[in-house]
Structure 1
Amino acid sequence: MSTTFTIDSATSRANPVAAPMKRLTVPAIRNRKAAIADGKGEPLVMLTAYTVRMAQLMDPHCDMLLVGDSLGQVIYGLPSTVPVTLEMMAAHGAAVVRGSYHAVVVIDMPFGSYEASPQQAFESAAFLLKQTGAAAVKLEGGAAMASTVAFLSERGIPVVGHVGLTPQAVNALGGYGARGRSAAEAEKIVGDALAVAEAGAFAVVIEGVVEPIAIEITRAIPVPTIGIGASAECDGQVLVAEDMLGLFERTPRFVKRYGDMAAFVAERVEEYAGEVRTRAFPSAEQTYAAKS
């Protein structure tokens, strides 16, 4: 039985508790493709997670948790994912594994940690899996990364591919606009997905592409596709959790806001600040009386 952690309200510390179910596996995720095609399986649910507590809340509802390099912007306020380091990914990946017991945890390989050679990618991926206990890594790029995907897969490191809009290449792409609007670019994206799937990726994220491309890829490759700004016909979906919860003012076109957590937090902090300034908090309920 796997282990998860619960927050002790008395100490605010994470303590291990027995998990109620076994964790999903990489083969189970890969095999979902056939089940979905046969009408016997549900689409895969994936969200990003960076902390123990968020992992705990999302894990029962998700098939996969992605420790995305989007933590660069979400957690650290960086302008892009490019400055994110292996050490940052390892720290947050370990937290998410500790906070989950059900979902397959996938960790993004940060920019510069895998592109130079398959050997570099293996060393970086091995570091992440050893440090975190996660099940798999995700790397961006298509045909150019196929040999790296094969190198990792053949050595026991499960890989999720990522094609279409690849945020680590934002400087080369010139921004975050949807990809595949030209026939040549559409053909390349489809070819990229086929290449990484044939190389051994057990799933492929398709990000920010015009919908017909996502549909074509989903029908063409033998492993699950995970859409983000792609199509409902993908085999699963992923979003940055903070986007779908409404923690940021700007909402990308492909995101549905399932709440307005930014407003909720701001209102609660305003209420707290008002009570502190009027000395309404803490009250007798939040203080300790002397023993008689």
Structure 2
Amino acid sequence: MTTTRGLRDSDEPITMLTAYDAPTAAVVDEAGIDIVLVGDSMGNAALGYDSTLPVTFEEVASRTAAVARATEDALVVADMPFLSFGVDEAESVRNAGRLLKEADADAVKIESGPHTVEMTRRMTDIGIPVMAHLGLTPQHVNRLGGYTRQGTDQAAAEEIIDLAGEHVEAGAFALVLEHVPANLAGAVTEALEIPTIGIGAGSDCDGQVLVINDVVGLGEWSPPFARQFGDVRGEMLDAVEAYKEAVTGGEFPAEEHSHVEEDLDDLY
């Protein structure tokens, strides 16, 4: 089984994908992906929300438990959704602990900033592994003014580098870098003793993460830094249309899909 410590010892790039349900998690795990992230991206990808902000702690906990039940080898990391942390440190730590204790996550991920350094330290001190997240942090979309690339000027880049170091010192075991310049991600990776995992951050990170919908081609759109490796939406549409045609055309169910109980002949 992949462990937080084992990630540091890997000679190969780390692979991470999101999953929000047991069947998907089982496939991701069987494929040998190192980390399954139960991301609050479920808001857009699975729950029909327009952003990650409406996602509740209960939704993350329920789906984390489902993913954990279907996963044998991958590290299961649960996202801390908006307002489940940062308002009160005790509540933040308690919520993170519940994701490990009740939902069987192996670690939590926190969208990070200056306000999460001491929180990360407190969580790791009591045995909650923390994956930090810098760059584009979607829970701050209203403050950022959209899903724009971060760290594009000297001051912003230096702030990301400094915050990364502070979270390492606080005990974070890995760092997600989202939608930042590749040369900034490379500099952060070079400076840190923990692995970096990029999304829209170039190839110099220690690993990569994408949303499962983008990888398998489940949605009609994916961000420019993603790549569709399949066409699951097309396959699903073909299958559903074939089912409809078979039912309306009287081809399904056929005789082999039905059972006749001989003892019931006298009912008519």
Q: Which TM-score tier does this pair reach, normalised by the shorter chain?
A: over 0.9
Report the residue type matching 1:43 in the other structure. Answer: P
The answer (yes or no) to whether the contact 1:86–1:128 under 8 Å persists in 2 is no
The answer (yes or no) to whether the contact 2:86–2:115 under 8 Å persists in 1 is no
The answer (yes or no) to whether the contact 2:182–2:204 under 8 Å persists in 1 is no
Root-mean-square deviation (Å): 1.2
Report the residue type matching 1:128 in the other structure. Answer: L
Matching residue within 226, 232, 244 for 1:261: 232
The answer (yes or no) to whether the contact 1:162–1:204 under 8 Å persists in 2 is yes
TM (normalized to structure 2)? 0.95
Q: Return 141-150 or 264-273, whichever deviates more.
A: 141-150
Sort the Cα spacing of 1:143 and 1:221 in 2 relative to 1 into closer, same or farther, 3 A.
farther
Structure 2 partner of 1:213: 184
Structure 2 partner of 1:70: 41
Give me the whole-angstrom Cα distance separating, in 1, the residues matched to 2:262 and 2:225. Answer: 58
Structure 2 partner of 1:86: 57
Once the two structures are TM-superposed, the CA of residue 180 in structure 1 deviates from its matched residue by 1.6
Give me the whole-angstrom Cα distance separating, in 1, the residues matched to 2:82 and 2:252. Answer: 46
Structure 1 partner of 2:25: 55
Structure 2 partner of 1:17: none
Tell me the alpha carbon deviations over residues 101-138 of structure 1, each in whole angstroms, 9 at most, x when there is no partner: 10110000011111123322111111111111111000
Aligned-partner SS, 1:289: coil
Moved over 6 A (4+): none
2:138 matches 1:167: yes
Once the two structures are TM-superposed, the CA of residue 150 in structure 1 deviates from its matched residue by 0.5
Give me the whole-angstrom Cα distance separating, in 2, the residues matched to 1:227 and 1:158. Answer: 19
Aligned residues: 262
Tell me the alpha carbon deviations over residues 170-208 of structure 1, each in whole angstroms, 9 at most, x when there is no partner: 110011111122222111122221121121100000001
Once the two structures are TM-superposed, the CA of residue 269 in structure 1 deviates from its matched residue by 0.7
The answer (yes or no) to whether the contact 2:68–2:104 under 8 Å persists in 1 is yes
Matching residue within 169, 185, 206 for 1:198: 169
Once the two structures are TM-superposed, the CA of residue 31 in structure 1 deviates from its matched residue by 3.3
Matching residue within 99, 102, 116 for 1:145: 116
**Unpaired runs of 5+ in structure 2?**
264-268
Give me the whole-angstrom Cα distance separating, in 2, the residues matched to 1:278 and 1:77. Answer: 33
2:31 matches 1:24: no
Matching residue within 90, 94, 108 for 2:79: 108
Give me the whole-angstrom Cα distance separating, in 2, the residues matched to 1:195 and 1:112. Answer: 22
Q: Return 184-193 or 235-244, whichever deviates more.
A: 184-193
